Amino acid sequence: MRAPYERERLESRLADPMRGLTPVIRSCVRWARRPLQPATRLWRRNLQLRVVAFTLLMSVGVVLLLGFVVIGQVKNGLLDAKEKAATNQATGGFSIAQEMANEGTQSQDGTGANPPQGPIDSGTWLTDLVQQFASGGKGVYWIVALTPAHRDEPTFGEATSNAHGPRSSGSVLPDRSIPASLMHAVETHTGALKQYTTVYTDDGAKPKPALAVGKRLTDINGGTYQLYYLFPFDQEEKTLGLVKGTLATAGIFVVVLLGAIAWLVTRQVVTPVRMAAGIAERLAAGRLQERMQVSGEDDIARLGESFNKMAQNLQVKIQQLEDLSRMQRRFVSDVSHELRTPLTTVRMAADVIHDARDGFDPVTARSAELLQNQLDRFESLLSDLLEISRFDAGAAELAAEPIDLRDVVRQVVDAAEPLADRKGSRVVVRGDTQPVIAEADPRRVERILRNLVVNAIEHGEGRDVVVRMATADGAVAVAVRDYGVGLKPGEATRVFNRFWRADPARARTTGGTGLGLSIAVEDARLHGGWLQAWGEPGGGSQFRMTLPRTAGDGLRGSPIPLEPEDSRRNRAVKSSRPPAVGPGRGPSGAAAAANVPVPRAGAGDPGSPEGSIGGRSAVRGPRIPPVPNASPRVPTADPAALPGSGARVVGHKEAVREDDV
Amino acid sequence: MKGRVLVVDDDTALSEMLGIVLRGEGFEPSFCADGDKALAAFREAKPDLVLLDLMLPGRDGIDVCRQIRAESGVPIVMLTAKSDTVDVVVGLESGADDYVIKPFKPKELVARVRARLRRAEEPTPEQLTIGDLVIDVAGHSVKRDGQPIALTPLEFDLLVALARKPWQVFTREVLLEQVWGYRHAADTRLVNVHVQRLRSKVERDPERPEIVVTVRGVGYKAGPG
């Protein structure tokens, strides 16, 4: 019963830490990396630091390599010399020992002077021999003598007093100091043999490396024993230590000096480069008279020279362009001004003639009328040109004050009433239940809106024009929607071009100058606002002006979507959804949506160009409420859903659909 | 109605056309085409109003305006091809009462000329006080402590308009209509400039006005008196 549960728990315990640990590790890494960030940034940005660091690293490597090689060489040399000297010394010693043994044997055999010494003598003799030899090489070598008996019983205790024990000088422990392999080799060979070993002493000193040279000899009684010379490397180690210390000191010096040199050298290169970078930045910032200081004739100087040449050429070119553009602006401005005086005369003359036209024959009277009308047009064209040239010259000033856009809209709509009547359109204003306050230049805003409304009426084909206002999120917007011919793909941006006309063949009843929307865009831009257009062929268009509520603030979005909710695409989306989507919508709205033929007005319809001047990423931002007029007029809560919300509008809808077919 | 108008303009065609229009409206125009001779022509013609082009050969219109203003309060209407704020304000500050931007319609010009001339013809015996100023409307004089203050007719009109209704705050548009006689004028720079000029003459401390008080966001009113 418990087992599955246990297993489950175990599994979860195994799995959990892994799952829980990954983010922990990640955050740890992040936490650890954070204090390093300034350093890594410095590393990435500072060429000099990198060069110096690399130089240090590489010189350390080189110095270490050199050190190892040199020390190895010195060590080998020292060892070779030591070995040679040791071998000579030992060979000499061995032959002396053998001679002494031979002499002893002869005297013993020949004279028989000391018979009682006999075989016992061989131990004493050996002790004497060792002492004698050792006294000659104090501090230079130690002597160890091993007898076969000792080798047979290596664990035998008090060696030195025993006749068969090993003898050694300088409190060397023979058993541990002479390696067994050497003992064996010496036993089986006749010549002198040598091996490196470690000498242990019983006086508490540290074990020392040494060279052991040994040989099998015969003692005074003809018995064999082994005699070893042990040469410690004290002197050599001292020498080697000195060499190492010298090398290390030199190496540190070399590395530090190399680092310093690298720092100095890179500074020589990096400083002009940094200077060039700084001056390039200043040039980019518009200070065109900045130049590099050039001294000498090296590569850096060449860099500086060509840099300066480039800056010079740039300055000249920019100056030329500026002059040219200033001249051109000046020319436009001058032409506009110069034209004004003769135009005033012509205008006055035309007025006089026009006033007297009753007495003319019909042809002359009509001519006087035409003259008058065209003079009006000429005049407005001239003033528009002048306005544009003022924008181009950057001379336009914003006289912003808090205004209620509803007043401006009302003025504009009132002024456009005669034109609308002539065209058979109605201008419907929505969203004017609450104040729409913004800091704006009333003259410019009025000009923008007049342009939009007049355009909408002109291109509205006699259908209604809806002006919507909304305010939200630090922005105010006025959108002017018409249901006329609309815009073809790509035209939504081109409408703002100077002297652009949708259809050059179309008759212009009000004789616009072709500069109206260009000026309107500049006006909006001067406020820090947007003027954008949307349109679909046959489905009308919508122009939306968005202004920041406080002059100079940035815009994040617009309270009104650029594409109206009754665009073909939106209607298609809406009608493809179940009716539950819009419970608040009145029956007429639902009917209108349902009546729209879905397939033709598919969402993939390319005919829904959207153009923008300010950037439309935020257009449909979810933060912005679509329509803030949550007024109790429920069925027509969204004015865009049903333009005009009247019988005529339904007719328009059908007309629109006919266009679709 | 008196109607001597001096036209100072170097463009002969425009001058002639102006002459035709002004004569048609019952004025007596005289002409001067040179800035240097403008003052002499002014003294000789003794006009009731000066139409002054700002761009003149010789002495420019601004200088001429200052010269005339230095010795007379006669209304001056500038004709300017430049509608930029700076040019207009400079012209107004040099003493012009009003301005017309080329190209203008004859009726517009005539309306302005008439508005500037009409004022002199309705003297009503009236004594007004505003602050420590005493205004004799009929005698066309303003005195502080018995000392007369010299004002141009336009400045006088502005002051009288404010002083007649000291309880009322005048918007710039209302002042334009009452003082300048405009119906649909949108240009409130005129009011601003002339209020400044008036203040520099009648206020003890123009930085802290007490006679002509600004009501922020609305307009101007007469100070407590």
CATH 1.10.10.10, chain B: domain bounds: 124-222
> Using 50, 70 and 90 to split pLDDT, how confident is the model at A657?
very low
Q: CB A351 to CB B103 under 8 A? A: no
CA distance A11 to A155: 61
Q: Which two tokens stand for residue A274?
A: 């940094």
Element (H, E) at B130: strand B127-130
pLDDT above 50 (res A151)? no
Which pLDDT score is estimated for A481?
92
A402 to B21: CB separation less than 8 angstroms, yes or no? no
Contact B198, B158 (CB under 8 A): yes
Most confident segment among A178-187, A214-223, A408-417? A408-417
CA distances from A36 to A27, A41, A43, B123 (A): 14, 8, 10, 88
CB–CB contact B18 A348 (8 Å): yes
Is A121 a residue whose pLDDT tops 90?
no
Q: Is the pLDDT of residue A434 over 70?
A: yes
Kindly list the distances between the CA atom of residue B9 and the CA atoms of A346, B116, B168, B203, in Å, as whole numbers in the listed order.
16, 19, 41, 36
Do residue B20 and residue A352 have CB atoms under 8 angstroms apart?
Answer: yes
Q: Is A386 on the interface with B (CB under 8 A)?
A: yes
Report residue A448's pLDDT band, with 50, 70 and 90 as the boundaries: very high
Rounded-to-10 torsion of CA A454, A458, A462, A463: -60
Q: Are A341 and B11 within 8 A, CB to CB?
A: yes
Say what the pLDDT of residue B30 is: 93
- Which of B14, B80, B171, B189 is the best residue to mutate to test the A interface, defined by the most A CB atoms within 10 Å of its own CB? B14
Q: Is A577 on the interface with B (CB under 8 A)?
A: no
Asked if A337 lies within 8 A of B106 by C-beta distance, the reply is no
- Does residue A460 have a pLDDT over 60? yes
Percent pLDDT > 70 in chain A is: 77
DSSP for A25-90, please give it: HHHHHHHHHGGGHHHHHHHHH-HHHHHHHHHHHHHHHHHHHHHHHHHHHHHHHHHHHHHHHHHHHH
Q: Which residue of B has its CA nearest to A343?
A: B103
* Among A353-362, B41-50, B85-94, the least confident range: B85-94
Q: State yes or no: pLDDT of A380 exceeds 80.
A: yes
Query: Which pLDDT value is given to residue A585?
Result: 38
Comparison of pLDDT for A131 and B183, the residue scoring more? A131
As a whole number of angstroms, the distance between CA A416 and CA A605 comes to: 34
CA distance A415 to chain B (A): 13
> Torsion over CA of B41, B42, B47 and B53, rounded to 10 degrees?
90
A347/B104 touch (CB, cutoff 8 Å), yes or no:
yes
Is pLDDT above 70 for A152? no
Check residue A5 and give its pLDDT.
56
Q: How far apart are CA A2 and CA B162, in angstroms?
A: 101
B17 close contact with A: CB closer than 8 A: yes
Structure confidence at residue A593 (pLDDT): 35
A486 pLDDT more than 70:
yes
CATH fold of B4-120: Rossmann fold (3.40.50)
A84 has pLDDT over 80: yes
Among A122-136, A152-166, A412-426, A439-453, the minimum mean pLDDT is found in: A152-166
User: For position B225, what pLDDT does the model report?
Assistant: 55
B:91-130 residues touching chain A, CB 8 A cutoff: 102-107
At the top level of CATH, the class of A74-240 is: alpha beta
H or E stretch covering B208: none
Report the complex ipTM: 0.73
A659 confidence band (pLDDT: 50, 70, 90): very low
Q: Which residues fall within 8 angstroms of residue A509, CB to CB, at 6 or more apart?
A: A422, A458
CA distance A434 to chain B (A): 21
Structure-block tokens of residue A486: 């609309």
Can you give the length of chain B in residues? 225
Per-residue confidence at B90, pLDDT binned at 50, 70, 90? confident
Helix, strand or coil, per DSSP, at residue A97: helix
Question: Are B102 and A341 within 8 A, CB to CB?
Answer: yes
How are the residues of chain A apportioned to helix, strand and coil, as percentages rounded to the nearest 5?
60, 10, 30
Mean pLDDT score, A373-387: 84
Quick: pLDDT tens for B190-199: 888 888 888 8
Question: Which pLDDT belongs to residue A508?
Answer: 54
> A198 pLDDT exceeds 60?
yes
Q: Is A494 on the interface with B (CB under 8 A)?
A: no
Domain boundaries, chain A: 1-45, 74-240, 299-377, 401-503+514-660
Residue of A nearest to B105 (CA): A348
Predicted confidence band at B23 (pLDDT cuts at 50, 70, 90)? Answer: very high
Mean pLDDT of chain A: 76
Please state, in angstroms and as integers, the Cα–Cα distance from residue A567 to each residue in A2, A375, A406, A605, following that order.
66, 40, 25, 11
Q: What is the pLDDT of residues A488-529, one digit of tens each?
A: 888 888 888 888 776 665 555 555 778 888 999 999 998 889
Q: What's the topology of domain A401-503+514-660?
A: Heat Shock Protein 90 (3.30.565)
- Banded model confidence at residue A546, pLDDT cuts 50, 70, 90: very high
Q: Are strands B141-144 and B147-149 parallel, antiparallel or unpaired?
A: antiparallel
3-state secondary structure of B169: coil
Q: Class of B124-222 per CATH?
A: mainly alpha
Question: What is the reported pLDDT for A643?
Answer: 34
Nearest CA in chain B to A400: B217
> Would you call A348 and B17 a contact, using CB atoms and an 8 Å cutoff?
yes
When pLDDT is averaged across residues B129-156 and rounded to a whole number, the result is: 84
Residue, of B26 and A503, whose pLDDT is higher: B26
The amino acid that residue A658 corresponds to is: E
Q: Is the pTM of this model over 0.95?
A: no
Q: Given a cut of 50, is residue A153 above it in pLDDT?
A: no
Residue A533: predicted pLDDT:
92
> In the structure, what pLDDT confidence band is assigned to residue B80 with cuts at 50, 70 and 90?
confident
- Name the residue among A337, A345, A397 with its Cβ closest to that of B82: A337
Q: What is the pLDDT of residues A24-52, one digit of tens each?
A: 777 777 777 777 788 888 888 888 888 88
- Alpha-carbon distance of A491 to A477, in angstroms, equals 22
Q: Which residues are A478's β-sheet partners? A: A469, A545
**pLDDT over 90 for what percent of chain A?**
12
A536, β-bridge pairs: A540
- Extract the runs of DSSP E, i.e. beta strands, from A190-253: 193-199, 208-218, 224-232
Instruction: Answer whether B208 touches A (CB < 8 Å).
Output: no
pLDDT at site A13: 53
* A454 burial via Cβ count (<10 Å: 0-12, 13-18, 19+): buried
Q: Select from A176, A201, A181 the least CA-distant residue to A193.
A: A181
Say yes or no for a CB contact (<8 Å) between A348 and B85: no
Residue A165 is predicted with a pLDDT of 67
- Tokens 């800056």, residue located: A311
Taking each helix axis from N to C terminus, what angle separates A299-355 and B12-24, rounded to the nearest 10 degrees? 30
Above pLDDT 70, what percent of chain B?
Answer: 91
- Minimum distance, in Å, between the CA of residue A340 and any CA atom of chain B: 6
At residue B167 the predicted structure's pLDDT band, cuts being 50, 70 and 90, is confident
CB contact under 8 A, A443 and B186: yes
Confidence of residue A661 (pLDDT cuts 50, 70, 90): very low
* B13 neighbourhood in chain A, CB within 8 Å: 342, 345
Q: Does A402 touch chain B (CB under 8 A)?
A: yes
